[in-house]
């Protein structure tokens, strides 16, 4: 059997890498008032974040309808896929996965929809591993145990510059409740295996210290990337702090997709990683 892999633009896989792996990426929508853009296709990161800080009204995001997923499934089937794995942003963060489930019911080949329990490259790392396993000839039934194991070992951690964008977007209300009214603090958000949590940090320097401490807790690592919302200075400062712990062959640094940046706001910085099996989780 030949397995095709589908994910969504919240996965933050660089376009070239997704294409190299043969992964179909279904875009979310970014809406500035009546203007709608396909995430990652019709609006660059630089243009989005420049517009975000000037916007009087916060942009909104929208999930692709079942037809978008159906088209991705049809393209993979036409290219020879006999099974499809559709791996997406955590259900607790988005209703996107519901559209994938609806489209899967009418797909020309069997489709298995998998909740990554994560966001950003936490999703991307799972799709990446699934595509590599598929390229080695694994069937969906063989890849699913791998994904369930990876989901438990995948972590995304980020410090936001402000809670304001998250509060205005109405996302992660349970996490916001734990932070109370401390809107002047630096919120640190964590997500792993579908569970989100938060901490309150007083200063930028303390937030870097905490990011480094959490990174050290996840060692040793199988995969790692730095993530940020157009925060080049902040991510470089984090890279310098983490440099002795990073792989010698380099590490991805990803400007987070507008579909997530809308809710996180500019100048957020953090990391996504997969802890090595048998290591600290």
Is 50 domain-assigned?
Answer: yes
Is 132 domain-assigned?
Answer: yes
Say yes or no: 146 and 39 in one domain: yes
The domain boundary residue, chosen from 110, 132, 152: 152
Q: Return the ∠ at Cα 18 (arms to 195 and 220), rounded to 5°.
A: 50
* pLDDT score for 105: 97
Is 187 domain-assigned?
Answer: yes
Say yes or no: 147 and 157 in one domain: no
Say yes or no: 32 and 143 in one domain: yes
pLDDT in tens, 127-182: 999 999 999 999 999 999 999 999 999 999 999 998 888 887 665 555 554 555 55
* pLDDT score for 280: 53
Is 210 domain-assigned?
Answer: yes
The domain boundary residue, chosen from 88, 122, 152: 152
Say yes or no: 170 and 118 in one domain: no
* List of the chain residues with pLDDT < 50: 177, 281
* pLDDT score for 238: 97
Q: Is the bond preceding residue 220 a cis peptide, omega within 30 degrees?
A: yes
Give me the CATH number covering residue 200: 3.30.1180.10
Say yes or no: 181 and 228 in one domain: yes
Say yes or no: 75 and 179 in one domain: no
Is 281 domain-assigned?
Answer: no
Say yes or no: 197 and 107 in one domain: no
CA distances from 13 to 32, 106, 164, 165 (A): 24, 27, 27, 23
What CA–CA distance (Å, rounded) separates 83 from 140? Answer: 7
Q: Return the ∠ at Cα 123 (arms to 120 and 125), rounded to 5°.
A: 105
Say yes or no: 215 and 135 in one domain: no
What CA–CA distance (Å, rounded) separates 121 from 271? Answer: 9
Q: What are phi and psi of 31, to 5 degrees?
A: -120, 120
**Residue 142 domain boundaries:** 3-152
Say yes or no: 194 and 233 in one domain: yes
Give me the CATH number covering residue 16: 3.40.50.10170
Say yes or no: 30 and 168 in one domain: no
Is 121 domain-assigned?
Answer: yes
Say yes or no: 142 and 195 in one domain: no
* pLDDT score for 170: 64
What CA–CA distance (Å, rounded) separates 228 from 217? Answer: 20
Say yes or no: 137 and 161 in one domain: no
Is 194 domain-assigned?
Answer: yes
The domain boundary residue, chosen from 100, 126, 152: 152
Report how many domains make up the chain: 2
Is 40 domain-assigned?
Answer: yes
Q: pTM (2 decimals)?
A: 0.93
């Amino acid at each position: 059997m030949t397995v095709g892999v589908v994910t969504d633009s919240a996965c933050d896989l660089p376009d070239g890498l997704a294409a190299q792996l043969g992964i179909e990426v279904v875009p979310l929508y970014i809406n500035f008032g009546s203007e709608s853009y396909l995430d990652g296709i019709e609006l660059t990161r630089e243009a989005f974040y420049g517009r975000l800080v000037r916007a009087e009204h916060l942009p909104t995001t929208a999930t692709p309808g079942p037809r978008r997923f159906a088209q991705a499934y049809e393209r993979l089937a036409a290219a020879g896929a006999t099974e499809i794995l559709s791996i997406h942003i955590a259900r607790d963060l988005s209703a996107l996965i519901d559209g994938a489930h609806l489209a899967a019911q009418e797909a020309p080949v069997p489709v298995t929809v998998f909740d990554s329990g994560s966001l950003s490259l936490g999703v991307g790392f799972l799709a990446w591993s699934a595509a590599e396993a598929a390229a080695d000839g694994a069937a969906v039934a063989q890849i699913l145990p791998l994904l369930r194991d990876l989901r438990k070992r995948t972590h995304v951690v980020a410090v936001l510059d402000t809670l304001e964008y998250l509060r205005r977007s109405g996302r992660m209300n349970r996490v916001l409740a734990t932070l109370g009214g401390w809107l002047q603090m630096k919120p640190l958000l964590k997500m792993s295996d579908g569970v989100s949590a938060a901490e309150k940090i007083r200063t930028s320097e303390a937030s870097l210290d905490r990011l480094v401490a959490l990174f050290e807790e996840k060692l040793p690592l199988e995969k790692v990337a730095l993530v940020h919302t157009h925060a080049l200075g902040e991510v470089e400062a984090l890279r310098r702090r983490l440099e002795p712990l990073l792989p010698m062959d380099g590490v991805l640094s990803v400007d987070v997709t507008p579909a997530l940046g809308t809710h996180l706001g500019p100048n957020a910085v953090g990391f996504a990683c997969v802890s090595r099996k048998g290591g600290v989780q």
